[in-house]
Chains A and B, each alone.
Chain A
Amino acid sequence: MEVYLDNSATTKVRKEVIDKMVDVMENEYGNPSSVHLKGYKAEKILLESRRNVAKLLGCETDEIIFTSGGTESNNFAIRGIAYSMKRLGNHIVTSKIEHPSVLNVMKQLEEEGYDITYLDVDNRGNIDLDELEGAINDKTILISIMAVNNEIGTIEPIEDIAKLKEKAKNAYFHVDGIQAVGKIELDVKSQKIDLLSLSGHKMHGPKGIGAIYIKRGVKIKPILYGGGQEGNLRSGTENMPGIAGLGDACRLIKENIHEYESKLIHLKKRLYDGIKSEISDVHLNGPDIDSGAPQILNVSFLGVRGEVLLHALEEKGIYVSTGSACSSHKNTESHVLKAIGLSHEYIEGAIRFSFSIFNTDEEIDYTIDALKDKVNFLRKYKRR
């Protein structure tokens, strides 16, 4: 049996999405900027996709810009705001558990003279709203916080952050929604989000495509210049197969989002309950089982090296990921697990299971059996 439980790394592309993309590559291969009919048809597809993405987020069609993926969306949001708001301030607030595509941009901006505040998180991975409030000042131009943490599944308090943002004179609120979109319900209008990043391949769409929601009126500078596509904000001939695929992936999720969410929660709990009852010395990392994101479960198996367990599970056809790449290379320990205060032993034994709607109860039960087997076996061979 093959059990893919690494859906926060990437997901399987849905058949419907593949068909749509193939059609775009085979038949509707026009350039949406072309004046002729072939171009016009492509433009229609572009518009339809944009509408599907907008619907999922609850925004207007013209507030969606397509990018090459999550990393570009995050880079664009942060750099774009930092540069456009330069005259009004140079202070940005973010958290210590953001994705590298946020943190490494921040590092770069620090070198360029920006002042970055990295908020701590508690042992569940939540930022402290008081700390955020204290950090905001007159020079704050951007607050960038992820909606769902990719390693432990913490859901950050988006509405509360949006409210606190009002205290800053000139700040925008960017949400890295890459692990959240399609998994938990988002509504950028009622949640008062100014910018939001998303990625296609985390929700059964293709790789190499993403989008960013930019609220009307937000002042942002492009990071790519060229032919003026995407309302002059993101030049480059549109990745039409990707865009069509992303649009379809969004549509399919929007139609069923509540059903999907409860299915993911069910799978997560089933696995966690099984682990807890079958295996001793396990520890749930991050949020409580009822409050985290529906698709992410992070558990430490004490006395086992996560990487070895990963490969042991792989022998059984089960695919997961770890909190650290290799114990002999300490610098690869997860910054998220460190930030929530886990000790080395817990980090070393951490495994992230991430689910998709295509996983089944049988797969979960098979995984529990395999885990029981492998963990018990590996625990016999501790370093001594």
Chain B
Amino acid sequence: MDIILIKYGELALKGDNRAFFENKLVKNIKEALKGYDGIKVEKTHGRIYVECDGNVNEVIDKLKKVFGIVGMTVAKKVDLDLDAIYNAAIELMRSYSGKSFKVETRRPNKSFPYESMEISRMIGGKILQNVEDVYVDVHNPDIVLNIEIREKAYLYSGITDGIGGMPLGTNGRAVVLLSGGIDSPVAAWMMMKRGVEIEAVYFHSPPYTQERAKDKVIDLCKKLSEYGQDIYLHVVNFTDFQLAIYDKCPPKMTTIIMRRMMMRIAENIANKYGAKALITGESLGQVASQTIESLYCTNAVTHMPVFRPLIGMDKSEIVEISQKIGTYDISIRPYEDCCTIFVPKHPIIKPDLEEVIEGEKNIDYEKFIDSLAIDQIKIKQDS
């Protein structure tokens, strides 16, 4: 029987809310592992244990996507029987890649008839006999094999890093503006990591953007959903609105005005579905619409907090995260900027809020927002 001991550091600080966070984490772990037979998740004394029968590597991979887990230790749990302990030790050692090792034994259960040092020595001897290409080094070993003799014997070595963060669903809901590029899915993921459940909105402008661009956003949602939630994607048909902006607004302001419209629409969706914040992938100064003046103008249309987790990050740092979380390869499919036609050749870099408000006065945007066609697509986490 394999046991995975879950460490979840930060949650311990949460005082009265602790039980809520822990219970949510347990629930999320169960959800992540629901496809496997023979899984038991238990919470005792500030520790969460996952018992599993085989598949331990697959289970660990799943747990690596559960927010709130800081580290995992895989232990084998066997009967208090020397042969069983030997076999488990040999099996574990064969699964590790290091060469030098030592065995460390603790024996809280004094009814076991051998002393710690003795046990270590006996197990070490068996490993040397049965595992090829390993040797003992008590000072600087690659592997420390820990043995704990309790009501059963537990064997484990090392800690696998978890993803960290807070259990998904412990910090409310927010709407992320997803473009299909590299940044916005990373922003979404970073907020999910802080426990925020997301709802996504994508602006689709056929024939200027194509179906494959929409599929890309669906695939990004699918990737994000692997981190523990079903995602509702709201696909806004934006063509007419964009053409109206083109017709009725000063050319150099079309981008900033479009951004303001997107924020209004996203806020509308957020209100409708109980979300309390917006998430964008903006990074200060990256493009004309992400200068401090532009952000001031886009921010002015919403009353909700706007989370911009990438605001202080370099592109290379964002790329690194997107590669780590698996969205990069989807984001770089070449269907993104097919609505360059609407990007003015000389966009305004330091817009003035008054002027922008003046610039959009000819658009009856409330009417537009009310009449938008929005498709809702549910993206299930294991589809």
Q: Is the CB–CB distance between A314 and B337 below 8 Å?
A: no
Q: Is the CB–CB distance between B334 and A383 below 8 Å?
A: no
**Closest residue of B by beta carbon distance from A315:** B207
Report if A308 contacts B (CB, 8 A). Answer: yes
Report if B246 contacts A (CB, 8 A). Answer: yes
Chain A residues, Cβ within 8 Å of B246: 381
Q: Is the CB–CB distance between B341 and A383 below 8 Å?
A: yes
Interface-lining segment among A170-178, A231-239, A320-328? A320-328
Report if A204 contacts B (CB, 8 A). Answer: no
Question: Which residues of A304-337 have CB atoms within 8 Å of chain B's CB atoms?
Answer: 305, 307-312, 314-315, 325-329, 332
The 20 listed contacts between A and B (C-beta, < 8 Å) are A307-B338, A308-B207, A308-B341, A309-B207, A310-B207, A311-B206, A312-B207, A314-B207, A325-B334, A326-B334, A326-B335, A326-B337, A326-B338, A327-B340, A328-B340, A332-B334, A381-B246, A381-B341, A383-B340, A383-B345
Q: What distance in Å separates the Cβ of B255 from its nearest Cβ neighbour in chain A?
A: 12
Hey, what's the 0/1 contact readout for B178-216 against A, CB within 8 Å counting as 1?
000000000000000000000000000011101000000
Report Cα–Cα, A312/B338, bound state, in Å.
13
- Contact A315/B206 with A308-B338, A326-B338, A381-B246 known, Cβ cut-off 8 Å: yes
Report if A384 contacts B (CB, 8 A). Answer: yes
Report if B372 contacts A (CB, 8 A). Answer: no
Chain B residues, Cβ within 8 Å of A15: none
Report if A36 contacts B (CB, 8 A). Answer: no
List 3 A-B pairs, minimum CB-CB distance, nearest first.
Answer: A311-B207, A312-B207, A328-B337
**Closest residue of B by beta carbon distance from A327:** B340
Hey, what's the 0/1 contact readout for B316-356 against A, CB within 8 Å counting as 1?
00000000000000000011111011111100000000000
Tally chain A residues at the interface, Cβ within 8 Å: 19
Chain A residues, Cβ within 8 Å of B207: 308-312, 314-315
Chain B residues, Cβ within 8 Å of A305: 341
Report if A87 contacts B (CB, 8 A). Answer: no
**Closest residue of A by beta carbon distance from B208:** A308
Q: Is the CB–CB distance between B334 and A382 below 8 Å?
A: no
Chain B residues, Cβ within 8 Å of A310: 207
Report if B251 contacts A (CB, 8 A). Answer: yes
**Partner pick for B243 among A327, A329, A332, A381, CB 8 A cutoff:** A381
| Total cross-chain contacts (CB, 8 A) | 43
Hey, what's the 0/1 contact readout for B272-316 against A, CB within 8 Å counting as 1?
000000000000000000000000000000000000000000000
Q: What distance in Å separates the Cβ of A374 from its nearest Cβ neighbour in chain B?
A: 8
Chain A residues, Cβ within 8 Å of B340: 327-328, 383
Give the one of B206, B251, B338 with max A CB within 10 A.
B338
- What is the interface residue range for chain B against chain A? 10 to 19
Report Cα–Cα, A311/B207, bound state, in Å.
5
Chain B residues, Cβ within 8 Å of A382: 341
Report Cα–Cα, A332/B336, bound state, in Å.
14
Give the one of A310, A311, A312, A329 with max B CB within 10 A.
A311
Give the one of B207, B334, B340, B343 with max A CB within 10 A.
B207
Give the one of A309, A315, A382, A384 with max B CB within 10 A.
A384
Hey, what's the 0/1 contact readout for A362-384 against B, CB within 8 Å counting as 1?
00000000000000000001111
Chain B residues, Cβ within 8 Å of A312: 207
Chain B residues, Cβ within 8 Å of A308: 207-208, 338, 341
Q: Is the CB–CB distance between B206 and A384 below 8 Å?
A: no
Chain B residues, Cβ within 8 Å of A307: 210, 338
Q: What distance in Å separates the Cβ of B335 from its nearest Cβ neighbour in chain A?
A: 7
Report Cα–Cα, A36/B98, bound state, in Å.
59
Q: What distance in Å separates the Cβ of A375 from its nearest Cβ neighbour in chain B?
A: 12
Q: What distance in Å separates the Cβ of A312 from its nearest Cβ neighbour in chain B?
A: 4
- Contact A329/B343 with A311-B206, A312-B207, A315-B206 known, Cβ cut-off 8 Å: no
Q: What distance in Å separates the Cβ of A324 from its nearest Cβ neighbour in chain B?
A: 12
Chain B residues, Cβ within 8 Å of A309: 207
Give the one of B340, B342, B343, B345 with max A CB within 10 A.
B340
Report Cα–Cα, A55/B200, bound state, in Å.
59
Question: Which residues of B17-34 have CB atoms within 8 Å of chain A's CB atoms?
Answer: none
Q: What distance in Å separates the Cβ of A6 from its nearest Cβ neighbour in chain B?
A: 15
Report Cα–Cα, A381/B205, bound state, in Å.
13
Q: Is the CB–CB distance between A384 and B345 below 8 Å?
A: yes
Chain A residues, Cβ within 8 Å of B344: 383-384
Chain A residues, Cβ within 8 Å of B334: 325-326, 329, 332
Hey, what's the 0/1 contact readout for A340-382 against B, CB within 8 Å counting as 1?
0000000000000000000000000000000000000000011
Q: Is the CB–CB distance between B335 and A383 below 8 Å?
A: no
Report Cα–Cα, A332/B338, bound state, in Å.
13
Chain A residues, Cβ within 8 Å of B343: 383
**Closest residue of B by beta carbon distance from A383:** B341
**Closest residue of A by beta carbon distance from B242:** A381
- Contact A311/B210 with A326-B335, A329-B334, A384-B251 known, Cβ cut-off 8 Å: yes
Q: What distance in Å separates the Cβ of B54 from its nearest Cβ neighbour in chain A?
A: 40
Given contacts A307-B338, A308-B208, 16 further A-B pairs with CB under 8 A are: A308-B207, A308-B338, A308-B341, A311-B207, A311-B208, A311-B210, A312-B207, A314-B207, A328-B337, A328-B340, A332-B334, A383-B341, A383-B342, A383-B343, A384-B251, A384-B345
Report Cα–Cα, A362/B260, bound state, in Å.
45
Q: What distance in Å separates the Cβ of B258 from its nearest Cβ neighbour in chain A?
A: 14
Report Cα–Cα, A309/B208, bound state, in Å.
9
Report Cα–Cα, A326/B344, bound state, in Å.
17
Report Cα–Cα, A173/B161, bound state, in Å.
63
Question: Which residues of B97-124 have CB atoms within 8 Å of chain A's CB atoms?
Answer: none
Question: Which residues of B204-231 have CB atoms within 8 Å of chain A's CB atoms?
Answer: 206-208, 210
Q: What distance in Å separates the Cβ of A313 from its nearest Cβ neighbour in chain B?
A: 8
Q: What distance in Å separates the Cβ of B333 from its nearest Cβ neighbour in chain A?
A: 11
**Closest residue of A by beta carbon distance from B207:** A311
Q: What distance in Å separates the Cβ of B242 from its nearest Cβ neighbour in chain A?
A: 9
Report Cα–Cα, A12/B268, bound state, in Å.
46
Report Cα–Cα, A138/B246, bound state, in Å.
63
Chain A residues, Cβ within 8 Å of B345: 383-384
**Closest residue of A by beta carbon distance from B335:** A326
**Closest residue of A by beta carbon distance from B206:** A311
